């Protein structure tokens, strides 16, 4: 571990040209593609980088750590508190129930293997110096997650930073269906 000399992206971006900002996004894209290229251990589930439990303060539960999970589907069941949408009653708005059913169907479907994920890509965790990304900090949420998790965590974890949301597609593959899935889950079981 070492101290990195740099400032958070929000402060740095105020003084960067549009061309320099695009260069920052290209650097971030390359870094994140390098993370995605890491080969997971055999039979990896959703788990920390050392195969243990995960931490994410945005997932509200009585215990701060959760998992590990053998499958992505098992992770999704945990996130929705093991709810079977067919058992939900007394929903005031029919569309809400349809959204939950759609979310669960997507969550329960097939998924590609987990990928290594930072898990907390907010602009303050990106350090910049002289137009270069010099570090990504705050890795406590990192681990092996579904392929969409980096994007949806950055999207849903920054609801007040709409400008940041507008920039995400410049360095992360967008997953609009998964954002819809996650916002439905969070509306019912969590963070928003």
Question: What are the pLDDT digits (tens) for 78-101?
Answer: 999 999 998 887 777 667 889 999
This prediction's pTM: 0.91
Six-digit token string for 174: 């967008």
Average pLDDT of the chain?
A: 91
Model pLDDT, residue 95:
74
For residue 128, the cross-strand partners are: 7, 133
Say how many Å lie between the first and final Cα of the chain, rounded. 34
- Written out in words, the top-level CATH class of the domain with range 7-189 is alpha beta
The answer to whether residue 48 scores a pLDDT higher than 70 is yes
Model pLDDT, residue 88:
85
- Domain borders along the chain are 7-189
Strand 7-8: give its sheet, edge to edge.
7-8, 126-129, 132-136
The answer to whether residue 192 scores a pLDDT higher than 60 is no
For 110-148, the pLDDT digits (tens) are: 999 999 999 999 999 999 999 999 999 999 999 999 999
Q: Is 156 in contact with 80 (CB distance < 8 Å)?
A: no
């Amino acid at each position: 571990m070492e101290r990195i000399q740099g400032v958070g992206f929000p402060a740095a971006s105020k003084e960067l040209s549009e061309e320099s900002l695009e260069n920052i996004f290209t650097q971030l894209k390359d870094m994140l593609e390098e993370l995605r290229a890491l080969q997971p251990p055999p039979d990896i589930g959703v788990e920390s980088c050392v195969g243990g439990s995960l931490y994410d303060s945005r997932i509200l539960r009585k215990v701060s750590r959760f998992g590990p999970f053998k499958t992505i589907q098992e992770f999704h069941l945990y996130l929705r508190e093991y709810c079977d949408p067919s058992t939900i009653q007394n929903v005031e708005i029919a569309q809400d129930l349809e959204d939950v059913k759609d979310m669960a169907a997507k969550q329960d479907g097939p998924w590609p293997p987990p990928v290594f994920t930072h898990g907390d890509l907010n602009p303050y965790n990106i350090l910049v110096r002289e137009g270069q990304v010099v570090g990504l900090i705050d890795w406590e949420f990192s681990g092996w997650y579904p392929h969409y998790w980096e994007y949806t965590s950055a999207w849903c974890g920054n609801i007040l930073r709409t400008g940041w949301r507008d920039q995400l597609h410049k360095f992360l593959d967008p997953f609009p269906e998964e954002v819809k899935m996650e916002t439905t889950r969070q509306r019912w079981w969590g963070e928003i």
